[in-house]
Structure 1
Amino acid sequence: MLALLGGGLAMAAPFLLGAHELAAGLRAVPAHVFLLLAAGAAVSALAKAGKLQLLQNALGLRLRFMRTVAITFVTDFAFLVSPLGAAGYGVNIGLLQRSGASWAKATTVVSADQVLDLTFFALAVPISLVSLVGPLATGLPGINLSIIAGVVAGAAILVGMLWVSRRPLERALDAVCRRILWLRARRAQLARFRQNVRAQWASLMTGPRDRFVALLLLTTLQWLLRYGALWFALLELGYPLPPGFVLAVQAVVLHAALWTGIPAGGGGGDLALAAVFANWVPRATMATALVLWRFATLYCPLMLGAVGFAALEWRRRSRTPAAE
């Protein structure tokens, strides 16, 4: 129900900006734009699958690449249709366990995938924030640039404080866990699991440098293609905004929309993006760009997820002995 609600709201949001103008704008979009956006969505998913394949191989999981691709499609589907994307983690771990991975190895693969994603955003977003100054100065001439500098500096200080105080935060979290009866009763089991995960992490971190570089490159390709879809749509519609500016705005707006708890942001991200870009892109053009963006980041991944479901189910049925 939540998935249908979130998907429906996300599909309807661009029409709130002007249904007649949107229909006319979509009719004017060349077919090759849709093909390129679909290809970008597919390559982004394949880049993620390649990243997972490298992580699995490093931990001794010898899955066929096509199975990893199907797992990736299904996992992305689960991220999109669940509140906060929470189901994606469980689906990924469950499918890896069904493929022969232990709980510790499956958890390590999924957590390493998230760490690589966070590494990309930790590097890309600060760099992209620098490109905000120019567009904000031209699009919002009355804004005080010292305010922008203060916000960026404050965010950097907050991140630095969290990093410096990570040890006390870990100790505080451990103390809280001790007070929870369910966790305290399973402390030994959780400790063994944590040791196994640490051992798997150690094997990943001590691997060859080439593998680490390949993981970073695949992560970068995955997210640049996904976050570049809106920039490409605006470019094709005649509004060549700086790529870093578009990436930074998406990173802030979409992560904020994620915390609404509605799958796919429930259209909140779409309307927020339209509001942020209103000073640079006309309303009707932004509605068309949002449909193209959703085509690449929602509709195509959902279709790929359906293909992944079908492939995994067909494989399961083909390996199940027929009933006598």
Structure 2
Amino acid sequence: MRRSLWLVAFGLVLGLSIPLLYGGSGLFQRLATFPLSLLGVVLTMIFVGWNFNAGRLRLMLSGIGQPMAHGRALATVMATEFAFCATPAGSGGPLTYVFLLRRHGVPGSDGAALYALDVLMDMLFFTTALLVIALALFIQPEQLRAGWQLALLAGLLMSVMALAWLAARHHRSALLWGGKHLRKWRVSPAARRRLARMLLRFRQGLRLTLGLSRARLLAIYVLCVGHWLMRYSILYVLIVGLDRHISWAYSFLIQMLALTAGQFSMLPGGSGGVELSFTALLAPVLDHATLGAVLLMWRFTTYYWYLIAGAPVFALFAGKALWQHPGNGAPKKAGEKVGV
């Protein structure tokens, strides 16, 4: 736990230093011109987005016979977002999600499958959004400077989706390939068996969730679209609030690229990588002071606020046990063996 806190603290210092150094003294003058009422609007957008996610979690759970109250679903979403932001590469997000669903009575394999369905819905949205943005770029040729960014993101998404499809389609071969390499890495036979059982249960659970009715899946996707439109409109609103103009489509691409690049920093929240990528992409469009102010407010609303608002919820619902030992604390059914 102490190491995680040090990583979060280091990431915060690094992330704050970049906009402050880049924006210089003019940054605070630009911040003073930003309407506080608009900041309230942005934070409200985040809260609405959390509720969209809580709604789709409830739809998924009721579809497998595990209904959940909206307040608890919202707490699950906020705690998961906090864990995602507070751990390197977001590794704590899925663990927290599955852990909290197990406390609700959902088997671990089904919880992992629900998380996978959540991710698939996200990927479907981003794929659709990139197609729409590509059409917009052809309609407005003056914005073709974003073409390479669009191509890069499309390539990443297609690669991830192709790997996921191949793993699901040829799961036996994937298990054999994984087992072969795990033996080379001297992973114990017991650990390999547990991993294989977990993957098989996950696949069964994924088939269960994908068996939901089309109407329910469509409703889940609509809520997914609502969440991401809220979250990815924040940068556009912040820039407009500082009396600057940028197309919504270009702001969408900037956020996708910056957040993707941030994952390679291996720091909580992608600190350092996100800020540097964001600065490089917006430098041709905004002056130093405005860019520094926008970056600071964007990271506050889409990262620091997730830590501030999510920390007490995580502490209340997940607790210290999960932070220290992600595998502990989840309830087990009668007769269930540890690690099976």
Q: Same fold (TM over 0.5)?
A: yes
Give the structure 1 partner of residue 264 of structure 2.
Answer: 259
CA–CA distance in structure 2, aligned partners of residues 190 and 153 of structure 1: 31
Residue 90 of structure 1, CA deviation: 0.7
Residue 284 of structure 1, CA deviation: 1.0
Give the structure 2 partner of residue 155 of structure 1.
Answer: 155
Contact 1:58 1:203 in 2 (8 A): no
Give the structure 2 partner of residue 18 of structure 1.
Answer: 23
CA–CA distance in structure 2, aligned partners of residues 165 and 209 of structure 1: 20
Residue 307 of structure 1, CA deviation: 3.7
Give the structure 2 partner of residue 320 of structure 1.
Answer: none
Structure with greater helix share of residues: 1
Query: Cα–Cα, structure 1 residues 129 and 287, in superposed 2: closer, same or farther, change >3 Å?
Result: farther
- Count of paired positions: 309
Residue 169 of structure 1, CA deviation: 7.4
Contact 2:130 2:150 in 1 (8 A): no
Residue 216 of structure 1, CA deviation: 0.8
Contact 1:14 1:271 in 2 (8 A): no
Give the structure 2 partner of residue 54 of structure 1.
Answer: 59
Query: Cα–Cα, structure 1 residues 227 and 157, in superposed 2: closer, same or farther, change >3 Å?
Result: closer
Which one of the candidate residues 3, 7, 21 is aligned to 2:8?
3
**Correspondence 1:122-161 to 2 at 5 A:** 122-131=127-136, 137=142, 148=148, 151=151, 155=155, 159=159
Contact 2:96 2:318 in 1 (8 A): no
**Given the alignment of the two structures, is residue 223 of structure 1 paired with residue 228 of structure 2, yes or no?**
yes
Residue 204 of structure 1, CA deviation: 2.6
Query: Cα–Cα, structure 1 residues 249 and 183, in superposed 2: closer, same or farther, change >3 Å?
Result: farther
Residue 230 of structure 1, CA deviation: 0.8
CA–CA distance in structure 2, aligned partners of residues 285 and 3 of structure 1: 26
Residue 197 of structure 1, CA deviation: 3.4
AA aligned opposite 1:175: L
Contact 1:40 1:225 in 2 (8 A): yes
**Given the alignment of the two structures, is residue 65 of structure 1 paired with residue 39 of structure 2, yes or no?**
no
Deviations 1:106-156 (A, max 9, x none): 11111111111111112212432454578884696xxxx9x8499579939
Query: Cα–Cα, structure 1 residues 129 and 271, in superposed 2: closer, same or farther, change >3 Å?
Result: farther
Give the structure 2 partner of residue 107 of structure 1.
Answer: 112
Query: Cα–Cα, structure 1 residues 136 and 238, in superposed 2: closer, same or farther, change >3 Å?
Result: farther
Deviations 1:259-285 (A, max 9, x none): 210112223212321221122211211
CA–CA distance in structure 2, aligned partners of residues 261 and 310 of structure 1: 23
Deviations 1:38-75 (A, max 9, x none): 10111111111111111111122222221111111111
Query: Cα–Cα, structure 1 residues 192 and 173, in superposed 2: closer, same or farther, change >3 Å?
Result: closer
Contact 2:57 2:73 in 1 (8 A): yes
Which one of the candidate residues 17, 36, 40 is aligned to 2:41?
36
Query: Cα–Cα, structure 1 residues 165 and 53, in superposed 2: closer, same or farther, change >3 Å?
Result: closer
AA aligned opposite 1:125: L
AA aligned opposite 2:273: G
CA–CA distance in structure 2, aligned partners of residues 197 and 206 of structure 1: 14
Contact 1:41 1:300 in 2 (8 A): no
Query: Cα–Cα, structure 1 residues 261 and 285, in superposed 2: closer, same or farther, change >3 Å?
Result: same
4+ long deviations beyond 6 Å: 133-136
Aligned-pair identity in percent equals 24
**Given the alignment of the two structures, is residue 304 of structure 1 paired with residue 309 of structure 2, yes or no?**
yes
CA–CA distance in structure 1, aligned partners of residues 245 and 189 of structure 2: 56
Contact 2:64 2:209 in 1 (8 A): yes
| CA RMSD of superposed structures (Å) | 3.3
Query: Cα–Cα, structure 1 residues 239 and 134, in superposed 2: closer, same or farther, change >3 Å?
Result: farther
CA–CA distance in structure 1, aligned partners of residues 48 and 307 of structure 2: 15
Query: Cα–Cα, structure 1 residues 54 and 280, in superposed 2: closer, same or farther, change >3 Å?
Result: same
CA–CA distance in structure 2, aligned partners of residues 30 and 227 of structure 1: 20
Give the structure 1 partner of residue 99 of structure 2.
Answer: 94
Contact 2:110 2:206 in 1 (8 A): no
Give the structure 1 partner of residue 333 of structure 2.
Answer: none
Contact 2:137 2:144 in 1 (8 A): no
The higher-RCO structure (CA 8 Å, 6+ apart) is 1
Where in structure 2 are there 5+ consecutive unaligned residues? 1-5, 320-340
Contact 1:228 1:247 in 2 (8 A): yes
Give the structure 1 partner of residue 336 of structure 2.
Answer: none
Residue 301 of structure 1, CA deviation: 1.4
Contact 2:23 2:293 in 1 (8 A): no
Give the structure 1 partner of residue 279 of structure 2.
Answer: 274
Residue 249 of structure 1, CA deviation: 2.1
CA–CA distance in structure 1, aligned partners of residues 62 and 82 of structure 2: 24
Contact 1:129 1:248 in 2 (8 A): no
Deviations 1:192-239 (A, max 9, x none): 544543443333333232211211111111112112111111122122
**Given the alignment of the two structures, is residue 76 of structure 1 paired with residue 81 of structure 2, yes or no?**
yes
AA aligned opposite 1:274: T
Query: Cα–Cα, structure 1 residues 129 and 183, in superposed 2: closer, same or farther, change >3 Å?
Result: farther
Query: Cα–Cα, structure 1 residues 19 and 122, in superposed 2: closer, same or farther, change >3 Å?
Result: same
Give the structure 2 partner of residue 318 of structure 1.
Answer: none
Contact 2:98 2:111 in 1 (8 A): yes
Give the structure 2 partner of residue 319 of structure 1.
Answer: none
Give the structure 2 partner of residue 45 of structure 1.
Answer: 50
Residue 100 of structure 1, CA deviation: 1.7
Where in structure 1 are there 5+ consecutive unaligned residues? 315-324
Query: Cα–Cα, structure 1 residues 160 and 119, in superposed 2: closer, same or farther, change >3 Å?
Result: closer
Contact 1:59 1:200 in 2 (8 A): no
